[in-house]
A and B are shown apart, each in its own frame.
Chain A
């Protein structure tokens, strides 16, 4: 299976990932190469195989619904690109 430059641009948009125009062809080629590797999987019959999401097959551990963390807003915002009055700033979303 091979991907086109258009496919790559669509995937990049889904991932909100900027890629340089001159690199698009190379990504299409690399991803196509990866997809070629994956054709090996299609040749294997997995009809009655349970998918494995996690090595331990364990259930998600639950905990009591109790407060365990203190408020670290100031420490977390100290490393943010742009904050004001305790809020994260981004470009205007609604005109």
Chain B
């Protein structure tokens, strides 16, 4: 049952081969059996079974859609009414969301079943899932390695089949990098495509939610449910949502693929490079044409990101003050002590590091040198994408320089951790959509291929990913012990 695709499960539910209650119980049992991965922060069996029962009723009444009765899991960054929503932090350990994120609301409307809330780096700040207050998630392909982050619980759960599919969010690579390291398909949509309402903010001009699935076809179904204008999100873009599944079967003959030399230079592991070369060759067989391009400002993405994201984070996280919700310290002596200790005790080290960095970058005398400068660099990076995407249909490259690293390996050196996001960060600064799809293995560990498209070209990216998945089977591999 767990190896069936979303489409197959949906057909099984419609044909009443099995019920949503049976399917949901099956996944709840798997979650229970594989707790060692630490993929979930909160499992919601009662809610899931109640939703499954309602879904079965809806199917019986003939009012179902593709997601009705499908057990999915939500990254614990999406506010879920009546359910603990921690964002991976001690700060929100006692926080029961008083309302639903729009993404949650949309899945509820589609009749999907929520199995629980998935582990993540604290406030989505991290590339390994090790900054979670609830402990590191383990990579199902090798439990001594990280699943990536910040949507590490989502990637591990989908890879180990502890949910049919999951949501993630991506500020600097947090969907694509864990998808690559866990061998699944992940899509970061164009900024503004998926509502951010109720998605706990880290860096508001970069954050975007998206699907994490086993195939491009599953991602198309999930994105169909997630995408669309939302008046509750002031940066939501009011544009029609295409039929993502309808576009999957288009031929790739004549597709122009741009290969930026900056993506294949120093720093990229040789075996990963060789694996990607084979994947790109597959596209040539499908009729695509390769074009060498250059994006000279890509190397500036990390410094620009580590000004802009912390600056926005320091502003966004100022709301956690120990007064209205979340953690409050014991016996504060005065108001300053209440703020300072509640925040000091409630936030972990990586979050504090970024708040400090952002506060510094925005402080008097440094604003122009750091924040304004970074915003100008952001423009240059964005122009690189516009120029490249005017001549090619899609840009391809690595997602990560290496396969998954060991748990604990990079925690002592935050800068080394930041540098591992070299291929994903520029995409968020520009705001364009990008995917990671499974493209092979190096020493038994998954490698992801990154596909980057023009603004609002998710349909084309899904098509390009789907066509590859029709002629390869990397996306069907299951980690040992989870078959």
Contacts and interface: CB of A to CB of B under 8 A. Distances in A.
A56 B324 contact: no
A11 B353 CA distance: 11
Contacts of A61: 234
A74 to B, nearest CB: 10
Contacts, number: 163
B377 A46 contact: yes
Contacts of B300: 40-41, 44
B234 to A, nearest CB: 6
B355 A17 contact: yes
B63 interface: no
By size class, the interface of chain A is: 35 or more
Interface in B329-369: 332-341, 343-345, 347, 349, 352-353, 355-357, 359-360, 363, 369
B138 interface: no
Nearest to A60: B234
A25 interface: no
Contacts of A18: 340-341, 343-345
B328 interface: yes
Nearest to A83: B324
B98 A75 contact: yes
Contacts of B429: 55
A62 B23 CA distance: 45
B306 A38 contact: yes
A23 interface: yes
A86 interface: no
Interface string B274-310: 0000000000000000000000010110111011000
Contacts of A34: 306, 357, 414-415, 418
Main secondary structure of the interface of A (DSSP, over half): loop
By size class, the interface of chain B is: 35 or more
Contacts of B297: 44
Interface string A63-80: 100000000100110111
Nearest to A93: B335
Given A8-B356, A11-B360, A14-B359, A30 B377 contact: no
A42 B303 CA distance: 10
Contacts of A44: 297, 300, 377, 380
B318, B333, B336, B379, most chain A CB atoms within 10 A: B379
B237 to A, nearest CB: 6
A79 B231 contact: no
A55 B324 contact: no
B191 A16 contact: no
B322 interface: yes
A51 B430 contact: no
10 contacts: A14-B359, A17-B359, A20-B344, A41-B300, A49-B380, A53-B375, A55-B205, A79-B94, A90-B332, A93-B334
Interface of A: 3, 7-8, 11-12, 14-20, 23, 27, 30-31, 33-34, 37-38, 40-42, 44, 46, 49-56, 58, 60-61, 63, 72, 75-76, 78-82, 88, 90-93
A-B pairs, top 3 by smallest CB distance, nearest first, are: A18-B344, A55-B431, A51-B375
